[in-house]
């Protein structure tokens, strides 16, 4: 399968040093952003509840002590909340778990505690640049622009913390795609140009996986091979299926 097809599916093959190939379905910026939003809401609710409890307890233990405890709680929620969840067996914060996401090493192995610390402590760089809050001169809002730019610039959607720690965010629960009948067998058609080995594998893989895609999905993928098929839409699908048939029969 060629790189363009892998990017469409967000399914990426990674060859390990031992020669073993693993396939990971990489999560993009949108689901990761939603998961981050859920975690921020949960963190905010916990801090609000904690502030109310400490405000009441402050009458007995003193306001300065209560404020100190609150600041410690804020520090923990800000820096260590994602670390402990991602370094656990599940490898995900509550927000990621709700969206079926998981943080793993680029090899697919669970991340270590050190990697969890590195990727999350570097989050402040991904949050740059900071935008001054209009309601307070001393408050700043993270724009996450650096992290988003890094995600869009890397094929595995890795932010700067991921690149430093050697981690990726993947789909932990992938729903099976409904099987759609593939186009019926047709006469073989010889390609008009010579194909490289990786292009041959891509065309054959298209035919083998066509039954997993809807008609629109087949057309979308075949449109990337217009130079080979000489057409788009269903015409392109039929042509690439005929070429795949010829390549397999020739073998």
pLDDT tens sequence across 192-226: 778 888 888 888 888 877 777 777 878 888 888 88
Task: Domain ranges for the chain, please list them.
Answer: 3-171, 197-250
Cα 241 to Cα 246: distance, rounded to the nearest angstrom:
9
Query: Whose CA is closest to 12, among 164, 2, 128?
Result: 2
Contact call for residues 120 and 83 (beta carbons, < 8 A) = yes
Q: Which two tokens stand for residue 173?
A: 């629960």
* pLDDT score, position 172: 85
Q: Which residues, other chains included, contact 137 with Cβ-Cβ below 8 Å and sequence gap of 6+?
A: none
Cα 45 to Cα 49: distance, rounded to the nearest angstrom:
6
What integer is the mean pLDDT of 10-14? Answer: 64
Say if residue 72's pLDDT is above 70.
Answer: yes
What integer is the mean pLDDT of 18-39? Answer: 83
Contact call for residues 102 and 89 (beta carbons, < 8 A) = no
pLDDT tens figures, 99-138: 999 999 988 889 999 999 999 999 989 988 877 665 555 5
What integer is the mean pLDDT of 154-177? Answer: 86
* pLDDT score, position 236: 81
Cα 14 to Cα 17: distance, rounded to the nearest angstrom:
10
Share of the chain above pLDDT 70, in %: 82
Query: Which DSSP symbol is given to 106?
Result: T
pLDDT tens figures, 184-197: 556 777 777 788 88
- Strands 101-105 and 21-25, sheet pairing: unpaired
pTM of the predicted model as reported, rounded to 2 decimal places: 0.63
What integer is the mean pLDDT of 144-155? Answer: 92
What integer is the mean pLDDT of 25-29? Answer: 91
Cα 175 to Cα 184: distance, rounded to the nearest angstrom:
26
């Amino acid at each position: 399968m060629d790189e363009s097809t892998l990017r469409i599916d967000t399914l990426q093959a990674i060859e390990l040093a031992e020669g073993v190939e693993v396939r990971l379905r990489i999560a993009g910026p949108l689901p990761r952003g939603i998961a981050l939003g859920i975690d921020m809401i949960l963190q905010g609710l916990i801090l609000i509840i904690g502030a109310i409890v400490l405000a009441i307890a402050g009458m007995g233990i003193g306001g300065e002590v209560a404020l100190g405890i609150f600041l410690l709680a804020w520090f923990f929620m800000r820096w260590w909340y994602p670390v402990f969840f991602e370094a656990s067996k599940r490898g995900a914060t509550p927000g990621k778990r709700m969206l079926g996401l998981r943080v793993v090493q680029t090899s697919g192995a669970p991340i270590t505690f050190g990697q969890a610390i590195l990727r999350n402590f570097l989050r402040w760089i991904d949050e740059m640049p900071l935008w001054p809050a209009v309601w307070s001169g001393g408050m700043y809002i993270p724009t996450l622009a650096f992290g988003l730019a890094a995600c869009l610039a890397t094929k595995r959607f890795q932010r700067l913390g991921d690149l430093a720690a050697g981690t990726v965010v993947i789909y932990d629960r992938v729903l099976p795609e409904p099987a759609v009948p593939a186009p019926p067998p047709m006469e073989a058609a010889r390609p008009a140009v010579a194909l490289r080995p990786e292009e041959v594998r891509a065309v054959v893989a298209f035919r083998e996986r066509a039954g997993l895609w809807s008609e629109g999905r087949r057309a979308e993928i075949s449109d990337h091979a217009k130079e080979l098929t000489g057409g788009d839409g269903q015409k392109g699908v039929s042509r690439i299926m005929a070429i795949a048939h010829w390549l397999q029969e020739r073998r």
